[in-house]
């Protein structure tokens, strides 16, 4: 017989085998015993967590010759036929390749016929979110009122793409990522059955690399067995997963804490020569320091460690490192990890991150030089506070030299908000534009904004990312106002990305509009000021009526009165 992959050989055949989903299997088992199962189910969750396996087990349980049972016997003709696929009443459909209206109409036409060899006809539709809108509409009525002998089981990894009208007609079960410990126990059971030796930390490494998917874990285990031969070692697992060994993490962490730039860069060089990915390494490093912080806070939670192995070296590093140092390192690594997403040279950003962390004064303990610098800064702050108090009491000094020195000191002491100097410059054109703005122009632009963002993403993704959270708040025939949450994005968009934004907008909508960038905080101020000014002008335009004329209108009516100046 041809070789079969482990995840196929060890596919769950009972609810007991579906690891990590006890909240679902227990509910289904209770429903089976009481014969209160639904006509339609929706199984959603990440890949490899047991959705399709649970659907087939449910199909066997409802059709088992010994029913009602909480587990299929896997011995009767019905159970064996469903397992090997020979029973035509249990139909498994891949919606990714059968997503048209015609396929669903075929189901709708055949669903009324009674099953031929078992009690219930079961339709398992995998990746159901791939169905077209027309196919969902064709399925809707059948799903709402199916014949009593039919059960629908829908499985998907993206439930948000399924219409709410479909979801509301199903019992929904959310499959969770399988905990690493449960995956390790399952893999240990498999390796013991196949007489395969494994190192102690090999299976936990596979479980971490699988990220909650049992099928991924068994595929990696299969690959590790083929790679290693007789015994699966940690190095074998690291080779096939691309992960970094504990030794690399310990060396790099020690270099950062000791501010040893040379050793840190040497470690990166070895890493690249071994074919490891910088993006994966920086992720492992972040998790390593996270584990160190977790160990300092709660040493008993070893089971929650993501990357670190709690050995003597790790304990020594954790004892010598302060939480503030860990916060600083994680923040620095996280910033570089974000920047890596937009570059073709991730190794450079990894090296820059390590150099920057090593050069920061608060990593690896405070030296005497840094203490001296802190003392100088504190003296300077005290002096500046004294001068500021005198300035408030006695007014500014006449001496130009002292005045300039005080101003310079004040500027150094009190940081100026970026953009506060340009606030009037930024809001001026906006106030002028609001005089000609209209709701029609705003609606016209807003209706095409989503298409414009898609086109901008294809042209320049950095510009699209910069204005993704911005909101079009006003528009006229010649300009539009874009309000940003963050002042940094506002400045970057208005200075570096204005041309490409206006060009793509012109190509998408046909509107030749000038972009006016402003922060949301500034926009609220401008809007309130504009509304208040408009209200005052309207009140001034309505003259107060003469009391005599008002009284005459009451007596004789406005139609009979002619007013002459």
Query: How would DSSP label each residue in 84-125?
Result: HT--TTEEEEETTTS-SHHHHHHHHHHTTSPPSSSS-EEEEE
Q: What is the pLDDT of residues 478-513, one digit of tens each?
A: 899 999 888 878 888 888 788 889 888 988 888 889
Instruction: Determine the pLDDT at residue 30.
Output: 93
Query: How would DSSP label each residue in 449-499?
Result: HHHHHHHHHHH-HHHHHHHTT-EEEEE-SSEEEEEESSHHHHHHHHHTSHH
Cα(374)–Cα(125) distance, integer angstroms: 66
Write the DSSP symbol of residue 77.
H
Cα(181)–Cα(525) distance, integer angstroms: 55
279 and 337 in contact (C-beta within 8 Å)?
A: yes
Instruction: Determine the pLDDT at residue 541.
Output: 54
Q: What is the pLDDT of residues 400-434, one digit of tens each?
A: 444 444 444 444 444 444 444 344 556 788 888 88
Which residue's structure tokens are 């490409």?
A: 500
Write the DSSP symbol of residue 18.
S
Neighbour-count burial for 198-216, b at 16+ CB within 10 Å, e otherwise = bbeebbbbbbbbbebbbbb
169 and 54 in contact (C-beta within 8 Å)?
A: no
Write the DSSP symbol of residue 199.
-
Half-sphere exposure of 345 (CA within 13 A, CB side): 4
Cα(29)–Cα(38) distance, integer angstroms: 12
| pTM for this prediction | 0.56
Residues of the chain under the 70 pLDDT cut:
1-2, 242-244, 301-305, 307, 361-376, 391-426, 538-548, 550-565
CA proximity to 181, closest of 141, 134, 135, 214: 214
Q: What is the pLDDT of residues 285-339, one digit of tens each?
A: 888 888 888 888 877 766 666 767 777 778 888 888 888 888 888 888 888 888 8
Cα(177)–Cα(175) distance, integer angstroms: 7
Helices (DSSP H) in 258-367: which residue ranges? 261-273, 278-297, 312-320, 323-340, 346-359
Cα 482–Cα 484–Cα 489 angle in degrees, nearest 5: 110
Q: Find how far residue 120's CA is from the centre of its chain.
A: 40
Write the DSSP symbol of residue 517.
E
Which residue's structure tokens are 């632009």?
A: 445
Cβ contacts of residue 539 below 8 Å, gap of 6+?
none
Instruction: Determine the pLDDT at residue 62.
Output: 93
Cα(142)–Cα(79) distance, integer angstroms: 26
CA proximity to 253, closest of 211, 294, 281, 295: 281
Cα 237–Cα 219–Cα 22 angle in degrees, nearest 5: 105
Work out the percent of the chain whose per-residue pLDDT is above 90. 18
CA proximity to 29, closest of 14, 42, 47, 43: 14
Half-sphere exposure of 109 (CA within 13 A, CB side): 6
Which residue's structure tokens are 């009391």?
A: 547
82 and 120 in contact (C-beta within 8 Å)?
A: no
Which run of H or of E encompasses 244? none
Query: How would DSSP label each residue in 380-392?
Result: HHHHHHHHHHHHH
**Strand order from edge to edge, sheet including 514-519:** 471-475, 479-484, 514-519
479 and 514 in contact (C-beta within 8 Å)?
A: yes
């Amino acid at each position: 017989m041809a070789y079969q992959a482990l995840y196929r050989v060890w596919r769950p055949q009972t609810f007991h085998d579906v690891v990590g989903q006890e909240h679902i299997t227990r509910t289904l088992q209770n429903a089976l015993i009481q014969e209160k199962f639904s006509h339609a189910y929706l199984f959603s969750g990440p890949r490899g967590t047991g959705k399709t396996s649970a659907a087939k087990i449910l199909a066997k349980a409802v059709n088992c010759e010994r029913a009602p049972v909480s587990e299929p016997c896997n011995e009767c003709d019905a159970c064996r036929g469903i397992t090997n696929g020979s029973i035509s009443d249990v139909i498994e459909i891949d919606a990714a390749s059968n997503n048209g209206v015609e396929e669903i109409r075929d189901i709708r036409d055949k669903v009324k016929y009674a099953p031929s060899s078992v009690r219930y006809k079961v339709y398992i539709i995998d990746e159901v979110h791939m169905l077209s809108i027309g196919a969902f509409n064709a399925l809707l009525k059948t799903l709402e009122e199916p014949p009593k002998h039919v059960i629908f089981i829908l499985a998907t990894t993206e439930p948000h793409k399924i219409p709410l009208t479909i979801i509301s007609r199903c019992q929904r079960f959310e499959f969770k990522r399988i905990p690493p410990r449960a995956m390790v126990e399952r893999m240990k059971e498999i390796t013991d059955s196949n007489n395969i030796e494994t190192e102690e930390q090999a299976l936990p490494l596979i479980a971490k690399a699988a990220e909650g998917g049992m099928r991924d874990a068994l595929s990696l285990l299969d690959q590790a067995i083929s790679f290693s031969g007789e015994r699966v070692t940690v190095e074998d697992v690291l080779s096939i997963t691309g992960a970094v060994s504990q030794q690399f993490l310990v060396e790099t962490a020690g270099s950062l804490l000791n501010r040893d730039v040379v050793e840190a860069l040497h470690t990166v060089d070895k890493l690249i020569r071994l074919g490891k990915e910088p993006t994966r390494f920086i992720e492992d490093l972040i998790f390593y320091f996270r584990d160190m912080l977790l160990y300092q806070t709660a040493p008993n939670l070893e089971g929650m460690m993501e990357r670190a192995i709690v050995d003597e070296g790790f304990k020594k590093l954790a004892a010598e490192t302060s939480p503030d140092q860990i916060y600083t390192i994680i923040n620095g690594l996280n910033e570089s990890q974000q920047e890596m997403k937009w570059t073709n040279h991730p190794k450079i950003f990894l090296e820059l991150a390590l150099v920057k962390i090593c050069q920061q004064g608060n990593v690896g303990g405070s030296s005497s030089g840094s203490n001296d610098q802190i003392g100088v800064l504190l003296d300077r702050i005290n002096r500046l506070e004294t001068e500021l108090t005198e300035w408030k009491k006695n007014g500014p000094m006449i001496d130009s030299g002292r005045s300039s020195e005080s101003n310079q000191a004040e500027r150094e002491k009190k940081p100026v908000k970026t953009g506060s100097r340009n606030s009037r410059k930024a809001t001026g054109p906006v106030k002028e534009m609001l005089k000609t703005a209209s709701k029609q122009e705003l609606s016209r632009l807003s209706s095409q904004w989503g298409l414009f963002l898609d086109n901008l993403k294809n042209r320049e993704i950095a510009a699209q990312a910069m204005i993704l959270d911005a909101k079009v708040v006003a528009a006229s025939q010649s300009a539009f106002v874009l309000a940003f949450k963050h002042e940094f994005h506002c400045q970057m968009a208005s200075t570096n990305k204005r041309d490409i934004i206006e060009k793509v907008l012109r190509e998408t909508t046909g509107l030749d509009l000038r972009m006016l960038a402003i922060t949301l905080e500034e926009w609220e101020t401008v809007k309130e000021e504009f509304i208040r000014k408009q209200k005052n002008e309207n009140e001034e335009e309505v003259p107060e009526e003469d009391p005599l004329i008002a009284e005459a209108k009451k007596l004789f009516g406005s139609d009979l009165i002619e007013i002459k100046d």
